[in-house]
Amino acid sequence: MERILIKDGRIIDPANKFDRIGSVYIADGKIASVTNEPAGFKADRIIDANNQIVCPGFIDLSTRLREPGESRKATFASETAAAAASGITTMCLQPDTIPVIDARAVAELIRDQAEKSGYTQILPIAALTQKLEGIELSAMLALKDAGCVAVSNANQPVKNLLVLRRAMEYAASHDLLLIFRPNDVWLANNGCVHEGKLSTRYGLPSIPDAAETIALAQCLELAELTGCRVHFGQISSRRSVIKLHQAKKYGLAVSADVAIHQLHLTEDDMIPFDSAYHVLPPFRTNRDKAALREGLASGTVDCICSDHQPHDLDAKLGAFPETELGISSLETLLPLMLKLVAERAITLEQGIAALTLKPAQILKLDCGALTPGFAADLCVFDPEQEWQVNSGNWRSQGLNTPFWGQTFKGRVTHTLQAGKIIYS
């Protein structure tokens, strides 16, 4: 394998509390050394990272890549290439594929096909219940053996709290992490926007923040009862942050992530009936956005994810409530994180930790750090380079982003996965 020297970059590695100009030495697909040149190291390739930032590759906790099942929308090939160009070296795949990731064969198929695409690594998340119906447990242990890193019921409800309790007990028995997206479907009542002044003005079916906080509170109680490790996915409300803060202080083994766009957009930013803004959870208020940012800065919210959901044009073509939800968001992940830093919501080190160290810890993966011996998953980016979101720069097959046409700062120049350059 190629020996690679990444020289003269600003190395930021939150795991090792490292932030200074230096070089990274890569051999045999692994990190050989940071700053100190190993004896007899001869680089086959040198990457000049002058004026650039070198950090661990990003780990994205929530993506949908539309394969298997909906390859007209996106494919492993298109989306892992987009991820590689965005500095993402590992991404978790939500189990609501077609078919659902509730059988060993599906998990293995996904790993095989993703590997063939040759870019970003894909880690499937197993369905918590069979067919995600919320009734019977999936074969969690077999799914774990097939490479699934966690269990989740994605956006589907679990029939009742007894089923959820048992699923959590079973997951805990096998040290499986539950990824839980808190949403009480009864309270959500098929809503499509936040319940507040916007839903009132436009007569749109609405989701109160209590739909999230009630589900979250119930799951916190069950986390204590069952001892299951729980990671809350894509929280969106101020009161969820408060509840998480209390639970962590109390000592529960819980963590949470927020979708990057929730840290930037609110109901006030939405263009009337523009389906590009149709997401779940919905964009809420300025107060919620501020609390999510504070939660990220204080560590109550651990990670940032893309919550990538590419769509074809037809999926977003219709009256707002009838359009499909989600944003194609891999490629805006880094620039929007850097925007948070520019707006002084978080430090650059916090932002990088939320995309590397923290998700690696939650998934118990040996990555997300530039520790010698770890796989050489790295991202090199120019924090000042400007680029516009347009068809010339966009790689994902899904063009569904409310940021289309906007200009951002921060562009990835190189991405390495296990010592292999997957983007440059």
Partner 1 sequence: MMSNNLQLNSKGKLKHFLTIEGLDKALLIEILDLAESFVGTEDQRIKKIPLLRGKSIVNLFFENSTRTRTTFELAARRLSADVLSMSIATSSTSKGESLLDTIRNLEAMYVDMFVVRHGISGAAHFIAQHAAPNVSVINAGDGQHAHPTQAMLDMFTIRQMKGDFANLRVAVVGDILHSRVARSDIQALNTLGVAEVRVIAPKTLLPAQVETMGVTVSHNLTDGLKDIDVIIMLRLQKERMSAALLPSESEYFKCFGLTEERLKIAKPDAIVMHPGPINRGVEIDSNVADGSQSVILKQVSNGIAIRMAIMAMAMQKQDSL
319 binds partner 1 (CB under 8 A): yes
386 binds partner 1 (CB under 8 A): no
**Peptide bond preceding 272 in cis form (omega within 30 of 0):** no
Write down the catalytic residue from 96, 257, 307, 377.
Answer: 307
288 binds partner 1 (CB under 8 A): no
Site string for partner 1, 207-226 (x = CB under 8 A): -x------------------
**How far is Cα 132 from Cα 138, in angstroms, rounded to an integer?**
8
Candidate list 109, 270, 346, 360; residue touching partner 1; CB under 8 A:
270
- Going by the DSSP 8-state scheme, the letter that residue 375 receives in this structure is B
325 binds partner 1 (CB under 8 A): no
Structure-token pair, residue 288: 């919620």
∠61-87-416 over CA atoms, to 5°?
110
**Minimal distance in Å, beta carbon 398 to partner 1?**
17
196 binds partner 1 (CB under 8 A): yes
**Minimal distance in Å, beta carbon 203 to partner 1?**
3
Burial (CB count within 10 angstroms: exposed 0-12, middle 13-18, buried 19+), residue 40: exposed
Residue type, 47: I
Nearest to 183 by CA among 261, 244, 132, 237: 237
Residue type, 166: R
Candidate list 16, 18, 33, 273; residue touching partner 1; CB under 8 A:
273
**Peptide bond preceding 99 in cis form (omega within 30 of 0):** yes
Helix axes 238-250, 286-298, angle to 10 degrees: 30
Structure-token pair, residue 310: 């590419």
Question: Are the C-beta atoms of 150 and 92 separated by less than 8 Å?
Answer: yes
307 is catalytic: yes
What are the distances in angstroms from CA 161 to CA 29, 185, 205?
45, 13, 26
Candidate list 184, 267, 288, 307; residue touching partner 1; CB under 8 A:
267
**Cβ proximity to partner 1, 199 vs 417, nearer residue:** 199
Candidate list 175, 268, 343, 366; residue touching partner 1; CB under 8 A:
268
**Cβ proximity to partner 1, 12 vs 198, nearer residue:** 198
Candidate list 323, 356, 401, 417; residue touching partner 1; CB under 8 A:
323
Q: Count residues near partner 1 (CB under 8 A).
A: 27
Structure-token pair, residue 382: 């120019």
184 binds partner 1 (CB under 8 A): no
Helix then strand count (H, E) for the chain reads: 12, 19
Candidate list 45, 197, 287, 364; residue touching partner 1; CB under 8 A:
197
105 binds partner 1 (CB under 8 A): no
Q: Which residues, listed in sequence order, are joined to residue 129 by a DSSP beta bridge? A: 137
Structure-token pair, residue 170: 């079973």
**Minimal distance in Å, beta carbon 109 to partner 1?**
30
Candidate list 195, 288, 331, 377; residue touching partner 1; CB under 8 A:
195
**Minimal distance in Å, beta carbon 191 to partner 1?**
11
**Minimal distance in Å, beta carbon 205 to partner 1?**
8
**Cβ proximity to partner 1, 212 vs 267, nearer residue:** 267
Candidate list 151, 198, 296, 303; residue touching partner 1; CB under 8 A:
198
399 binds partner 1 (CB under 8 A): no
Candidate list 317, 384, 388, 406; residue touching partner 1; CB under 8 A:
317
201 binds partner 1 (CB under 8 A): yes
**How far is Cα 178 from Cα 82, in angstroms, rounded to an integer?**
27
Candidate list 204, 214, 260, 341; residue touching partner 1; CB under 8 A:
204
Through-space distance between the first and last CA atoms of the chain, rounded to whole angstroms: 17
CA 118 to chain centre: 20
H/E element holding 32? strand 30-34
**How far is Cα 81 from Cα 247, in angstroms, rounded to an integer?**
38
318 binds partner 1 (CB under 8 A): yes
**How far is Cα 326 from Cα 98, in angstroms, rounded to an integer?**
17
Which stretch in 84-92, 107-115, 117-125, 319-327 sits in contact with partner 1 by CB under 8 A?
Answer: 319-327
Three-class SS of residue 106?
helix
Q: Give the interface with partner 1 as residue ranges (CB under 8 A).
A: 195-206, 208, 267-268, 270-273, 314, 317-323
> Could you give the residue numbers annotated as active site?
307
